[in-house]
Structure 1
Amino acid sequence: MSEYDAYKPGKLRLKGEKSKSKKRKHKSKHQSEEKPQIDSDSIKHGNWWKISKIEDITGAVAIEFGSHVYVKALDNGLFTLGAPHNEGEGPSPEEILTGVYISERKVAFKSGYDKYLRVDKSGIVTGRSDAIGPMEQWELVLEDGKMALLGWNECFVSADDEDSIIAKSKRAGSEQFLTIRSHTFKEVNNLKDVPEEEQANLKQIEINYVKKFQKFQDKRLRLCSEAKKDLKKAKQDGYLHEALLDRRSKMKADRYCK
């Protein structure tokens, strides 16, 4: 087990914070019968969905710069940009933070080493604090669909030329724009109603079902070589399973094919 995995998140030490009970909202019969919408952006990021409001910054979150590149915690209390991930992958364990919603303007973040993030006097983002104080609080700035994080020093978070995470710019530009992703409320995207095999692009969906129903003992994939353009229409019209079965039957690769 790595040093990172040895740390276990503890209780928050923010004084004066009161837990808020959440009222359950009952869906109407009409709502429950609606066809679930698949969040393609979330699927491309391993089912980590894009946060658009500050109250969603709670639980497991990751800070993304660019595309599929996340802020990574180091064992010395500093942060850097991790290696780019492939499409369909989520962040690595060292890239997962715990978000803490404080108020309508403020949040805090805790690393996997059980330390809170702050900006030091030289503008370097560190994770060495044991509790949340004024310097561990961050302001989420949202404007025109863009997102940035403002530290206590009135500077925005970004990465420098060496990929170290800093907060030194008084203005937010392209280098300061980021995305915060969450893995906490997966049901927001209605993915709980979507079969696991279908939480991917069409190519991967077909592979998933071939693996599930193939009858060959050698377990080698037999995929239909015909174009997949008809699958997109089949998915939109609600007969994707029939279309996939038809393609598998042409390869004699399904246990249910005659």
Structure 2
Amino acid sequence: MPSRLSFKGDKKVHKKGRKSAKSLQSAVESQENDPIWTDANLVEDIHGPLVLYQRLDTTVISLGIEEVQGSCVGIFLDPLSLEPDNTRQVFVASDMNGNVVLKSFLMKYLSAGKEGDLFSKREAIGAEEQWQLQYLHDGYWAWKSMSNNKYLECLLNENDTYVFRCTSDTVTFTSKWRVRVQTRFVKRPSIQNIKQPTVHSQQLEAMVGRPLSSDEKKILKQASRDGSLHEALLDVRVSKKSDKYG
């Protein structure tokens, strides 16, 4: 099994110190099982390392860069993990005036010529290096070149090899892409940002089964905001019983 690619900012398994073999193995297994890659579903997810791929029957093909010439080639992607094992199939995305630029492992940008040819040979950014990203549906994306206003597509030629070009005027099956991104760049709402529903005093008194003092109301409302209302209600009920029989 090929080793997982590592990127700047990835969590590392620290091997220094006197950690037991069991705890170290647990840390390694946790790293291996963590879902580092996921499909992008929001424009905000398109940032940092990514892989452009298409599912074709039982085959998953990704857009890659040829090491010597800098031309585009097809590189197979594991159909189960959908995790890249070759740096040639990974690009780093960044924003450029509302468009997207993709830098390859050659440290040069993915470009589309006027005739639709693709390559990664330039260090400067112009219209040929900029892409307009369009979300379609169900995790599918279209990449439109700002050079010739054509869509990036994956084609199978007569020699059964995959060819990548920007020649499509409209979005078709061959120009629908999925984008694999790292989970650390995916925007997800945190628990702190999820607003808890407001609980009114009358509702709290109905839950307890008696009138509440102002202090008890404050405690229960704070517990509701913290997500621990159930435990706080039990404490209030137990406290009342203690006062009654104490």
The corresponding residue for 1:150 is 144
Cα contact 1:59–1:184 (8 A) shared by 2: no
Unmatched segments (≥5 aa) in structure 2: 9-31, 190-246
Matched, 1:61 2:50: yes
Cα contact 2:155–2:164 (8 A) shared by 1: yes
The aligned runs of 1:244-255 (5 Å cut-off) are none
Q: CA deviation at 1:46?
A: 5.9
Matched, 1:139 2:132: yes
CA distance in 1, matches of 2:62, 2:115: 22
- Give CA deviations for 1:45-66 in whole Å, capped at 9, x if unaligned: 9631111222322211111111
Matched, 1:74 2:58: no
Equivalent residue in structure 2 for 1:102, among 96, 108, 121: 96
The aligned runs of 1:1-258 (5 Å cut-off) are 47-66=36-55, 68-75=60-67, 76-91=69-84, 92-104=86-98, 106-145=99-138, 146-152=140-146, 153-161=148-156, 162-183=161-182, 185=184, 188=187
**Residue 132 and residue 45 in structure 1: after superposition, are their counterparts in 2 closer, same or farther (change >3 A)?**
farther
3-state SS in 2 of match to 1:165: strand
Higher-Rg member (1/2): 2
CA distance in 2, matches of 1:166, 1:71: 11
**Residue 144 and residue 87 in structure 1: after superposition, are their counterparts in 2 closer, same or farther (change >3 A)?**
closer
CA distance in 1, matches of 2:143, 2:186: 26
AA in 2 matched with 1:70: S
**Residue 183 and residue 136 in structure 1: after superposition, are their counterparts in 2 closer, same or farther (change >3 A)?**
same
Q: Please give the TM-score of this superposition, normalised by the length of structure 2.
A: 0.54
**Residue 179 and residue 165 in structure 1: after superposition, are their counterparts in 2 closer, same or farther (change >3 A)?**
same
3-state SS in 2 of match to 1:164: strand
- Give CA deviations for 1:165-199 in whole Å, capped at 9, x if unaligned: 11101011111100111116267579xxxxxxxxx
CA distance in 2, matches of 1:84, 1:124: 23
Paired-residue identity, %: 18
Moved over 4 A (4+): 43-46, 186-190
**Going by fraction, where is strand more abundant, 1 or 2?**
2
Q: CA deviation at 1:72?
A: 1.1
Q: Please give the TM-score of this superposition, normalised by the length of structure 1.
A: 0.52
RMSD: 3.0
CA distance in 2, matches of 1:72, 1:45: 25
Unmatched segments (≥5 aa) in structure 1: 10-42, 191-258
3-state SS in 2 of match to 1:185: helix
